[in-house]
Amino acid sequence: MPVIRDIPLSLKTREVLRRQGLGGGAKVRPEIKILIQEILASVKNNRLLEPAVTYEYYTINSMNGSQISLDRTV
């Protein structure tokens, strides 16, 4: 099963704030923004998040209208 590991990951402070429901972060204290930046730097430097994708190939057995039947044996 092939695995792709060299997927770039670039998290930004704004994205973290948005995920937490704070939109662009205009009302967030500067200390919190600095803390987020430090944590993101730690995540990157320590390689704590390393995205990977795995996939399989399937043979098409038949197609009927809007349905496709796949064969799991490769």
Question: What is the residue-wise DSSP string for 28-68?
Answer: S-HHHHHHHHHHHHHHHHTT-----EE----EEEEEETTEE
Query: Six-digit token pair at 23?
Result: 């939109």
User: In this predicted model, what pLDDT tens digit does every residue of 6-65 receive, in sequence order?
Assistant: 998 888 988 888 888 887 667 888 898 899 999 999 999 998 999 999 998 889 999 998
Q: Is 23 left (phi over 0), alpha (psi -120 to 50) or beta?
A: left
Residue labelled with tokens 């948005």? 18
pTM of the full structure: 0.61
Considering only CA atoms, which of 11, 15, 22 is closest in space to residue 48? Answer: 11
Maximal C-alpha separation, the chain: 59
